[in-house]
Amino acid sequence: MQLPILESINLMAVLPVLIIAGWACVLLVFDLLIPRSRKHWTAWLALVGLLGAAVALFFQIGHFARLGSEAAFDGMVTVDGFSIFLQVVFVLTAIVGVLLALDYLPRHGIERGEYYVLLLFTTIGMMIMSMAADLIVVFVALELLSIPLYILSGFAGMRETSEEAALKYFLLGAFASSFLVYGIALTYGGTGTTRLTGIAQAVTSDALNLPLTTVGMGLLLVGLGFKVAAVPFHMWTPDVYQGAPTPVTAFMSVGAKAGGFAALIRVLVTAFPAIASEWGTLIAVIAGLTMLLGNIVAISQSNIKRMLAYSSIAHAGYILLAVAAAQRSENASFAIGAVVFYLLAYALTNLGAFTVAIAVERDDGTGTEIDDFAGLGKTRPWMALAMALFMLSLTGMPISGGLVGKVFVFQAALQAVPGDPLLLAVVIIGVLTSVVSAFYYLKVIMVMYMREGEGKAVLPLALKTVLAATAFGTLVLGIIPGPVFQMAQRAMLK
């Protein structure tokens, strides 16, 4: 008997995901045959799989520019410009994640092939998250994103900090997931469907079940707010970022955040347009708090990984501001464009900054203090220059992607609801906290150039490649942002 569903599966639309998923399973078996002294083979094989997915994505870009969007798996997922753009970000981040680990893992005595397999699995979770069109898929993708990251945080299990990071991340993450599931249950109870477009039809402003659905939406916000490290749900970030092996931190600070934002935008914009002013207000308030706390607490940090953790909280605040700006449908495409552009700029800059942190880190996991950067300006001039560029970009200085991203975010917020005092206030907070952030970002540059020190760093070819690529990308986004932003704006939901 032919099930009618088989015709609507549409495997070609999700080809990049299938390539990575299949390759990860194959790699798991291959890894058994690779002798322990040659585990870097697994890394290169993982790269092959990711490049295969990148090629498939490249062909999809043209295809979807013509078509707009396509549903797959009976409407469970929607592949459109938004998801393609984010999938490119995820695959690039995963490639960087492999390259960063290539030398780090053997140097720290934690080299195991499963690292690369888990990296591929969490990448699939992120990719599916960006195309989810059903709350069930959002939930399972979120778990698929999170569980490998819990394991990877504890990958340096013989270090107590790594163990602590994994346990904290797991317990708090499971707690946050339960909020998400409860939110899904209430939304289902209120609307009778888990399909995002179906929810949008059922939630009208005069619906009887509106209180139930609104509470459900709020709980969904809690679950996803945890993933993006927004302020009342940010507690785990500093400890996990500091304790996890640095390549994992780099990967998760970019990938998990972008995944969380992808789901947040899909759920809020697609499913809850009827209560947009409610979630818009809520997110604007969270954005303001997140910027304030992240930037102010980052000032007092002396550890580079912890400092970057608070910086990542702060940047979540800026991105949330653009999400809040998507509350009006006329402004949504510009606001979503600002979000994905900011995510790309943040990804490049942050991966670069963590690459430098990995180069400076010593084999026993020490050397992550900002003081350890002293003297790098003399011993490693090019690396110091790149790090200076990343710090300037995170602050939002000219000729860097960070500035352009911030300008787009603020512009989106200002034109979202003209004359809205709340959004205006949050934009002002955003500008002021950007100024505050200069204090701790510039401190790193000052330590590198002005202070005497050993300036020791290990910079193998893989790290050099990543450093050059991310620095180049940050500059390109800063100097000629036009083409990329046009692409980002076209990356709207369909």
Partner 1 sequence: MIGYILFGLVALVAIVSAVGMLLSTNAIHAALFLVINLICIALFYLGLNAPFLAMVQITVYAGAIMVLFLFVIMLLGAEQVTLKSQLKWQAPLAIVLAVVMIAATFLLFFNVQASGGLSPLAPISEDPRQTETFGSPYAVGEVLFGAYLLPFEMTGVLLLVAMIGAIILTRNEAGGMRDEQRAASNE
Q: Which is nearer to partner 1, 159 or 315 (CB)?
A: 159
CB 267 within 8 A of CB 224: yes
- At closest approach, how far in Å is the CB of 43 from partner 1? 15
Q: Which is nearer to partner 1, 151 or 462 (CB)?
A: 151
Pick out residues in 55-114 that bind partner 1 (CB under 8 A). 72-74, 76-77, 109-112, 114
User: Residue 141 interacts with partner 1 (CB under 8 A)?
Assistant: yes
Q: From the list 13, 15, 21, 343, which residue makes contact with partner 1 (rule: CB under 8 A)?
A: 21
Q: From the list 118, 283, 320, 404, which residue makes contact with partner 1 (rule: CB under 8 A)?
A: 118
Q: Which is nearer to partner 1, 148 or 223 (CB)?
A: 148
* Choices 121-129, 281-289, 396-404, 453-461 (CB under 8 A): range interacting with partner 1: 121-129
Distant-in-sequence, close-in-space partners of 65: CB < 8 Å, separation ≥ 6: 81, 490
What gap in Å lies between CA 391 and CA 403, rounded to an integer? 11
* Choices 145-153, 339-347, 448-456, 463-471 (CB under 8 A): range interacting with partner 1: 145-153
User: Residue 140 interacts with partner 1 (CB under 8 A)?
Assistant: yes
Pick out residues in 240-279 that bind partner 1 (CB under 8 A). none
- At closest approach, how far in Å is the CB of 355 from partner 1? 23
Tokens of 347: 């990804």
Q: Which is nearer to partner 1, 160 or 454 (CB)?
A: 160
CA torsion angle 166 24 258 441 (round to 10): 60
* Choices 3-11, 233-241, 368-376, 460-468 (CB under 8 A): range interacting with partner 1: 3-11
What gap in Å lies between CA 493 and CA 475, rounded to an integer? 28
Residues recorded for the chain: 494
Distant-in-sequence, close-in-space partners of 161: CB < 8 Å, separation ≥ 6: 242, 243, 365
* Choices 134-142, 173-181, 255-263, 285-293 (CB under 8 A): range interacting with partner 1: 134-142
- At closest approach, how far in Å is the CB of 89 from partner 1? 20
Binding mask 172-211 for partner 1 (x = CB under 8 A): -------------------xxx--------x-----xx-x
Q: From the list 136, 407, 432, 450, which residue makes contact with partner 1 (rule: CB under 8 A)?
A: 136
CB 266 within 8 A of CB 138: yes
- At closest approach, how far in Å is the CB of 472 from partner 1? 34
CB 131 within 8 A of CB 75: no
If one counts every other C-beta atom within 10 angstroms of the C-beta of residue 299, the result is: 13
Q: From the list 85, 116, 121, 341, which residue makes contact with partner 1 (rule: CB under 8 A)?
A: 121
- At closest approach, how far in Å is the CB of 302 from partner 1? 22
User: Residue 147 interacts with partner 1 (CB under 8 A)?
Assistant: yes
Q: Which is nearer to partner 1, 109 or 381 (CB)?
A: 109
Q: From the list 26, 55, 158, 431, which residue makes contact with partner 1 (rule: CB under 8 A)?
A: 158
Distances 407 to 230, 295, 335, 410, 487 between C-alpha atoms, Å: 21, 18, 12, 5, 17
Q: Among candidates 127, 180, 115, 184, which has minimal Cα distance to 151?
A: 115
- Maximum CA pair distance of the chain? 76
* Choices 79-87, 157-165, 442-450, 459-467 (CB under 8 A): range interacting with partner 1: 157-165
Q: Which is nearer to partner 1, 175 or 449 (CB)?
A: 175
Q: Which is nearer to partner 1, 137 or 284 (CB)?
A: 137
User: Residue 166 interacts with partner 1 (CB under 8 A)?
Assistant: yes
- At closest approach, how far in Å is the CB of 72 from partner 1? 8
What gap in Å lies between CA 265 and CA 326, rounded to an integer? 8
What does the binding site for partner 1 look like in residue numbers (CB under 8 A)? Answer: 3, 5, 9, 21, 25, 28, 72-74, 76-77, 109-112, 114, 117-118, 121, 124, 128, 134, 136-137, 140-141, 143-144, 147-148, 150-151, 154-160, 166, 191-193, 202, 208-209, 211
